[in-house]
Amino acid sequence: MPLVDSNDPAVWASLYDLARLSDPNQRAGFERDSSLYSAAPREAQGIIAALGINSTHRICVLGAGYGWIANAIAQQSGCVVAAVDTSTYIQSGKAANADVEILNADVRAGSGRAAVRQALGITGQTKASFTITEDLLTILTDAECVQLSGFLHDFSTVVVHWVTLLDQGGNQDPRLNWKSVAAWKALLPADLFVQRSGTVVL
């Protein structure tokens, strides 16, 4: 079982206790008015540069939330992107908050992987160019991370994890699975890691 329940609105409220840009005295949570939405174009630039993404690529963004990063990657690179998130919290709020379709596809199942492939327009033995998990590993146990990576390699040429790294100051939510990029690489040696808000690739 994941370390936190991504279907629970209270979990999202606790993980994203953010001030509204329009009114810092109000709390935004994980909404369009948050700093996450406004930062998406800049953060997309970082991951595009880190991975060399271009218009020929077909990319799955997993754990995409409302797809803000996925949409920014598609707009800036011209590539085909499928945004995927199975959280009922995200699925129930996507009509009001997402700019792109958010697939409700469980990639651990063959049917879910098939749905992603269809959304990307790939057939036969062709694989997605990249699957990028968006700060997803931190809510999973190590065993779940290893299992997920295996499923992703089944339909992706390159598996990339975009991660917020361990803060040595101990200021991060203690429920979650925080690691350094070297520790993540040791756990999943076949995968690439990109530091969130940076371009460090390992």
**Least confident stretch, 9-18, 133-142, 147-156:** 9-18
Q: For residues 137-158, give the mean pLDDT.
A: 96
* pLDDT for 169: 62
Residues 85 and 65 sit within 8 Å (Cβ to Cβ): yes
Q: What is the pLDDT of residues 166-178, one digit of tens each?
A: 876 667 889 999 9
20-62 pLDDT tens trace: 777 878 888 888 888 889 999 999 999 999 899 999 999 999 9
User: Residues 83-101: pLDDT tens digits?
Assistant: 999 999 999 999 999 999 9
pTM above 0.85, yes or no: yes
pLDDT digits over 100-145, tens only? 999 999 999 999 999 999 999 999 889 999 999 999 999 999 999 9
Residue among 15, 16, 33, 13 nearest 24 (CA): 33
Joined together, the tokens standing for residue 196 give: 């969130």
DSSP for 46-70, written as a single string? HHHHHHT--TT-EEEEET-TTSHHH
Mean pLDDT score of the chain, rounded to an integer?
92
169: which DSSP letter? T
Strand ranges for the chain from DSSP E? 58-62, 80-84, 102-103, 128-134, 156-163, 192-195
Q: Is the pLDDT of residue 6 over 90?
A: yes
Domains of the chain with CATH codes? 41-195 (3.40.50.150)
Answer whether residue 1 shows pLDDT above 90.
no
Q: Quick one: tokens of 113?
A: 């992987």
Where b means 16+ CB within 10 Å and e means fewer, 6-32 reads beeeebbeebbebeeeeeeeeebbbbb
| 3-class state of residue 17 by DSSP | coil
